[in-house]
Structure 1
Amino acid sequence: MADHDLVIRGGTVHDGLGSPPRAADVAIRDGLIVAVGDVTGAGKREIDARGKIVTPGFVDIHTHYDGQVTWEERLMPSSGHGVTTVVMGNCGVGFAPCRPHQRDMLVKLMEGVEDIPEVVMVDGLPWNWESFPDYLDALDERRLDIDIAAQIPHSALRIYVMGERAARREAPTADDLAKMRALVAEGIDAGAFGVTTSRNMMHRTKAGELAPSLHSDVDELCALMDGLTDADAGVFQIIPAPDGDAGVEFDVLRTVAEHGRRPLSFTLLDVAGQPGGGWRHMLAGLERAAADGVEMRGQVAPRPVGMFFGLDLSLHLFSCHPSYRAIAHLPLAERVARMHDPDFRRRLLSEQPEDSNPVTLNLVAAFRATCPWGDTPQYEPAREDRVESLAAAAGRSLEDYSYDLLLGDEGHAVFYLPAANYSGGNLDSVREMLGHPNTVMGLADGGAHYGLICDASFPTYLLQRWARDARDDQRLPLPLAIAELTSKAAATVGMADRGRIAEGWKADINVIDLDALRLHVPRVAYDLPAGGKRMQQASDGYVATIVSGEITYLDGEHTGALPGRLVRRSRAQPLERAA
């Protein structure tokens, strides 16, 4: 008779705390780790991990699976990259609380901010909730491949309390602020992990209307923080204005953090030309805050915050040209055929882009700085790899040259734009921010930006680029890289039951062939509700992923197991440790 449900044999075990690894077996029973060391008892199932590393399951604290989790059991792409817990509801956008007549407002907001097609949400969302506690109750019924945790989104909250006034740039009344404060406390008491908001002016509906949270003054942000204080729990997550003065933005962040004395995390980016000292000012501000006992942490992306373009994706150079918009609804093959017609080409190239949303126009114009990809990801391109440089070298206009490139691979050609975190044409700033005591790796955005961004692969990239392949003077030690993905991430949002390999801790575990770890180029799949499309990015090297003691993925293939559940804040506290 087996002594354990599962035993992982002979791997190099990383505890998730950054300690030196050790050769050990790991035994699991009833969803908990019950032994780490020389395990003599047998398991009902066993995994041979010799030559492999064994890590805690990864905790991704910045995702947008708020909708996808209601219609899908597998939270891809994240669950394909060793992630066993995701935290959603970031950036102030989500679907609860929401009155029935306000649903369209939240859908249009999510469509614009997170690039999720409206038809996907209309077809996929069951809307079997109104309040935030209702939403959590609905999620409690879901059975998934990984665990999920939720945060309260400010824009949804503002619309719920203020209705149309929230979108009309009206200031909240004292009564509005009191209601928002009470609803935050109610959501935290029901199991939310925090409240989230955004000051990023790029966050707009598809038509260009600003997200409701962007109209908020500091007193409104402090009212949200008061809700956390009232509940005596939860984290405040915020995106500062990336083009705003770094000094002004950090002062806002610190004011809110000091006001409630609750932990605050925020997006920390290297944005080219940001006034006020940019990311360096914010990193120094984090150090001062820590010295003063103010708990703040910057979320850092491990590579450029990049965007993909192409005919089969959300945007490309001609997305806003009238002639292209007239055929945009057609299947890709038909669009490609039309674009091969000389008369269509001539007409389109004579046009100028048109759109009511300035962000969309700016993104389309940024195509000139994209780099075409082949069969291998290239996240650190040189300037001469840009489309505009290639066009100039060929003696052709940007538009004429790009037209032919977009038709490559029968219209499946992919173009990458390294935006933030690449101002110097390298990742030196990322390395300085990454692994800092007051930062944590984040911002993977799984569940959003289906046709524009594919960063759910951040965990794989971090291990591959920074822990395995970096030159010696830039390498992030493997134990510390794993801590970024596990215990440090869990601690940032107040999860105290996962992120470690130790007796009595939740049995969320990865077995990884580090030498084989490799990312593939993202591919488009039409597998969303209503036939919607999204990018999926596969990887090699994940031997096994385990959630609550059940093997969910073996060699990248889903086993069919769905042990993932909603994690309420009260359930993410220390479990009874095994003897």
Structure 2
Amino acid sequence: MTKPSTLIIRGGTIVDGTGHTAFTGDIKIVDGKIDQVGVVTGTADQEIDAKGLLVTPGFVDIHTHYDGQVTWSNQVASSSQLGVTTVVMGNCGIGFAPCNPEHRDIMMRLMEGVEDIPGAVLQEGLPWNWSSFPEYLDALDARSYDIDIATQIGHAPLRIHVMGDRGAAREPARDEDIETMARIAAEAVEAGALGFSTSRTILHKSSDGMHTPTLGAAEKELAGIAMGLKKIGKGTLQLVTDFDDVDAEFAMLRRIVEQSGRPLSLTLLQHEHLPDRWRRVMAHMHDATDAGLKMKAQCGARPVALIFSFALTLCPFSQLPSYEALKDLPHEARMTKLRDPEVRAAILAEEHHEEMYKRRVANFENLYKLGDPPEYEPKPEDSLAALASRAGVSAAEYAYDYLLENDGKSMLYRPLYNYFEKNLDVLREMLMDRDTVPGLSDGGAHYGFICDASFPTYLLTHWARDRSRGEKIPLELLIKMQTQDTAATVGLNDRGLLKPGYKADINIIDFENLHLHGPTITYDLPAGGRRLGQRADGYRATIVSGVVTYRNGQATGELPGRLIRGAQSL
């Protein structure tokens, strides 16, 4: 009989995920589960001195898009490098299963467009050793990771799998289509998917400009799929929607939850053009949860923001003819051109004509330098427009010259959502709402213009310790939000707490010295693909299933992470 493996964490400041006050104590782990919490006597195979350090549950990130990355990489970066021990993929209705060979190009174009994962990366990286969703799970189950992964079946691949070109063209689903989608969704959940996800936002387009196949899907279709999950009594629902008509859209979602009995979570954002609309969404949410329905809104830890650079997908000069003429050049050749005074003058002489693009990408009043350490709650006086005014040059000139620095890798930060008041007070209000959970990190996606896998780390550093422009949030509550609460939202009730019997996913953190570095650009994807990554100082150790996976930010090479099949309980 094999001797149980044991690990004792000694003398740490334990923040156990319940929201209760931190206390000093030990934790004993036996065979990947927490055995004792408090005063632990005796010895173990391994001991870690955590005196003066925080000991917390590992973070559970329920909104990521590592669906492709986990088929070619054992490292779920950047999340696994930032204290996250469980990720949930398959959000926003997209993914790669089910998918027959004739539909692979459609799904890759959709992922390329919606999540900014280059087509060449997907072409080389995806092994496509599956067709059905259970086969996709089997492919993931055959691999090992540095953290645990879980996934959902996306509406887009499901719709195209069942309806083919009709589904891609967003034609209404027939009764037999809905019945088949409901059956396959239920089979996926029975095989281990956590649930079903969909997208209803006009912003989600494939790389060839086509709207996501699920945009405008009828209530009958969504309800039919949800009722498929009701039949088996399993699975969650997740969606993103524009809420163009808040009352009508939420009423539909409420009916679906009432009829199916399945829990639902949705994306919550403050939009610049309708800054108070989110409050109406939450008013409906409160009414629904008061009536006993299981619904949560996912909100961010900071603004959902775009990152601009001459070395990335976007910059304030994107779509201008003279700039676009250079976009396919290798980086060094493009930089040589961009340093040419004549090219600079030509680009600066051009203007954006598409008003929405100009507002989003070339809005110098809400565009900021992003350095190291990064400032994610910048002040209005630090905008490029303000800096340029003080320097006596135009904002466009100031931006151009700044982006030339650091060999064209200098970055600009454009808070797109949750920053209408030019501070994060609105996000504090969201985070403190009884019906929200932290989410929306989009880890594994937007490789060239978003880097938000660090949301869980920022939740701690900014909101519990560093914030100077408004109220903070107690550390114990923040830990609960990012561990127990997120885990419970998707039915992972075996983790997120430091209590006997729970999964031993743990962070040991030097909280005073926990600091995020600025995003960096690496070229470690298949086909030499580019991605934004981010690291942090202060994580002394991250433990997954009782095994140390990271020490002082460096991977140990251990891969205890596995695919999670379905909801979990003790």
Q: Same fold (TM over 0.5)?
A: yes
Name the amino acid aligned to 1:327. L
- Alignment partner of 1:320 is 2:319: yes
Match of 2:21 in 1: 20
The CA distance in 1 between the partners of 2:65 and 2:26, in whole Å, is 35
Which residue is equivalent to 2:305?
Answer: 306
Shift of 1:547: 0.3
Q: Shift of the alpha carbon at 1:143? A: 0.7
Alignment of 1:73-152 (within 5 A): 73-152=74-153
Cα distance change, pair 569–360 in 1 and its aligned pair in 2 (3 A): farther
CA separation of 1:144/1:76 partners in 2, compared to 1, >3 Å: closer, same or farther? same
Q: Aligned residue for 2:225?
A: 224
1:364 to 1:477, Cα distance in 2 relative to 1, 3 A: closer
Aligned to 1:517: 514
Alignment of 1:253-332 (within 5 A): 253-274=253-274, 277-332=276-331
Q: Does 1:163 align with 2:164?
A: yes
Residues 353 and 118 of structure 1, relative CA distance in 2, 3 Å threshold: farther
Counterpart selection for 2:541 from 544, 554, 573: 544
DSSP-derived class of the 1:212 partner: coil
**What does residue 200 of structure 1 align with?**
201
| Corresponding residue number in structure 1 for 2:497 | 500
Task: Classify the secondary structure of the residue corresponding to 2:496.
Answer: coil
Q: Tell me if the contact between 1:322 and 1:354 (Cα under 8 Å) persists in the aligned partners.
A: no
CA deviation map 1:376-435 (0-9, x unaligned)? 211112223222333344444443333222212221110001111111111111111103
Change in Cα spacing, 1:229 to 1:2, as seen in structure 2 (3 Å) is closer
- 13-22 vs 471-480, greater mean Cα deviation: 471-480
1:531 counterpart residue number: 528
Contact 1:170 1:215 in 2 (8 A): no
1:40-51 matches, within 5 Å, as 40-51=41-52
Which residue of structure 1 lines up, in the alignment, with residue 413 of structure 2? 416
CA contact (8 A) 1:309 1:367 kept: no
In structure 2, the residue corresponding to 1:455 is in which secondary structure? Answer: coil
Structure-2 change in CA distance of 1:446 and 1:301 (3 Å): same
Whether contact under 8 Å (2:195, 2:236) holds in the other structure is: yes
Partner in structure 1 of residue 459 of structure 2? 462
Opposite residue 347 of structure 1, the aligned amino acid is A
Aligned to 1:176: 177
1:365-380 → structure 2 map (5 Å cutoff) = 365-366=362-363, 369-380=366-377
How many angstroms does 1:86 deviate by? 0.3
Contact 2:365/2:380 (8 A) holds in 1: no
Could you tell me how far apart the structure 1 residues matched to 2:144 and 2:122 are?
20
The separation in 2 between residues aligned to 1:370 and 1:218, in whole angstroms, is: 39
Q: Return the offset for 1:366.
A: 4.2
Distance 1:472 1:33 in 2: 39
- Which aligned pairs between 1:316-395 and structure 2 lie closer than 5 A? 316-351=315-350, 363-366=360-363, 369-395=366-392
Whether the 8 Å CA contact 1:283–1:433 is kept in 2: the answer is no
Conserved 8 A contact 2:364-2:383: no
Overall identity of the aligned pairs, in %: 50
**C-alpha distance 231-360 of structure 1, shift in aligned 2 (>3 A):** farther
- The change in CA–CA distance for 1:181 and 1:496 in structure 2 (over 3 A counts) is same
* Cα contact 1:4–1:41 (8 A) shared by 2: no
Structure 1 residues 424 and 363, CA gap change in structure 2 (3 angstroms): closer
Deviations 1:100-156 (A, max 9, x none): 010000000001101111111111000000011110010001111000001010111
User: 1:154-208: CA deviations, max 9, x gaps?
Assistant: 1111111111112223111111111111111010100100100111111111232
Q: Supply the distance in 2 between the matched residues of 1:160 and 1:450 (Cα, whole angstroms).
A: 27
Structure 1 425/348 Cα, relative in aligned 2: closer, same or farther at 3 Å?
closer
Q: Is the 8 A contact 2:364 2:395 kept in 1?
A: no
Distance 1:30 1:421 in 2: 43
Which residue is 1:248 aligned to? 248
CA change 1:524–1:471 in 2 (3 A) is closer
State how far apart, in whole Å, the 2-side matches of 1:85 and 1:145 are: 10
Aligned equivalents of 2:353, 2:132: Cα separation in 1: 39
Assess, with a 3 A threshold, how the Cα gap between structure 1 residues 236 and 367 changes in structure 2: closer, same or farther: farther
Contact 2:170 2:214 in 1 (8 A): no
Partner AA of 1:312 in structure 2: A
Code of the residue aligned with 1:120 in structure 2: it is V
CA distance in 2, matches of 1:196, 1:13: 35
Q: Which amino acid aligns with 2:383?
A: R
Supply the distance in 1 between the matched residues of 2:469 and 2:348 (Cα, whole angstroms): 48
Deviations along 1:66-108, one digit per CA (max 9) or x if unpaired, are 0000011111110111100000000001100101010000000
Unpaired segments of 5 or more residues in structure 2?
none
User: Cα gap change, 1:394/1:245 in structure 2, threshold over 3 Å: closer, same or farther?
Assistant: farther
Count of residues in Structure 1 that have an aligned counterpart in Structure 2: 569
Match of 2:569 among 566, 570, 573: 573
CA distance in 1, matches of 2:103, 2:462: 44
Q: TM-score of the superposition, structure 1-length normalised?
A: 0.94
2:164 alignment partner, SS class: helix
**Could you say what secondary structure the match of 1:319 adopts?**
coil
Q: What residue number does 2:237 align with? A: 236
Residues 259 and 359 from structure 1, CA distance in 2 versus in 1: closer, same or farther, beyond 3 angstroms?
farther
Contact 1:316 1:367 in 2 (8 A): no
Q: How far did residue 215 of structure 1 move?
A: 3.0
Match of 1:577 in 2: none
Letter paired with 1:296: M
Matched residue type, 1:438: D
Q: Is the 8 A contact 2:317 2:362 kept in 1?
A: no
Contact 2:423/2:469, CA 8 A, preserved across alignment: no
CA distance in 1, matches of 2:451, 2:364: 17
2:478 to 464, 478, 481: 481
- What residue ranges of structure 1 are gaps of 5+ in the alignment? 575-579
> Hey, what's the Cα distance between the residues in 2 that align with 1:263 and 1:18?
23
Say yes or no: does 1:212 pair with 2:213: yes
Partner secondary structure for residue 373 of structure 2: coil
8 Å contact 2:442–2:452 — kept in the other structure?
Answer: yes
> Among 444, 447, 458, which residue is 1:447 paired with?
444
Q: State the AA in 1 paired with 2:284.
A: G
- The amino acid of 2:263's aligned partner reads P
Aligned to 2:553: 556
Q: Residue type of the partner of 2:569?
A: Q
What is the DSSP-based 3-state SS (H/G/I as helix, E as strand, rest coil) of the residue aligned with 1:553? strand
Tell me the distance in 1 between the aligned counterparts of 2:365 and 2:471.
Answer: 30
1:321 touches 1:354 (CA, 8 Å); kept in 2? no
- On the 8 A contact 1:84/1:508 being kept in 2, the answer is yes
Please state how far the C-alpha of 1:3 moved relative to its aligned partner. 7.8
Which range moved further: 14-23 or 49-58? 14-23
